[in-house]
Amino acid sequence: MKNMSPNKKDRVILIPYIEIIIGTILLSLEVHDYMTLYSMDEADKLFGGLVDFYKYKESTYNQAFLWSILIFTGISYWVNKKLYWILTQTFLLLVLLKVLLPFYAIFIELNPIPFYIFPTLYIILFIWIETILCKIKQIESPPINSQTKLLGIATGLLCCIVYILLL
The string of DSSP codes covering 87-103 is HHHHHHHHHHHHHHHHH
pLDDT band at 1 (very low <50, low <70, confident <90, very high): very low
Give the list of residues 6+ apart from residue 11 with CB closer than 8 angstroms, or none.
Answer: none
Backbone torsions φ then ψ of 136, nearest 5 degrees: -70, 130
80 has a pLDDT exceeding 50 = yes
Q: How many angstroms separate the CA atoms of 61 and 30, rounded?
A: 8
Position with higher pLDDT, 17 vs 81: 17
154 has a pLDDT exceeding 60 = yes
pTM over 0.85: no
Task: Choose from 14-18, 36-40, 57-61, 163-167 the range with maximum mean pLDDT.
Answer: 14-18
Position with higher pLDDT, 58 vs 64: 64
Give pLDDT, residue 3. 55
Q: Is the dihedral of CA 81, 17, 69, 101 positive or negative?
A: negative
139 has a pLDDT exceeding 60 = no
Q: How many angstroms separate the CA atoms of 167 and 162, rounded?
A: 9
Position with higher pLDDT, 130 vs 74: 74
- Tell me the pLDDT of the chain averaged across its residues: 77
Interval 104-114: pLDDT, tens: 666 656 656 66
- For residue 144, give Cα distances in angstroms to 13, 17, 19, 131, 167: 19, 22, 21, 14, 33
Mean per-residue pLDDT for 38-64? Answer: 73
Q: Report helix, strand or coil for 73.
A: helix
Q: How many angstroms separate the CA atoms of 56 and 42, rounded?
A: 9
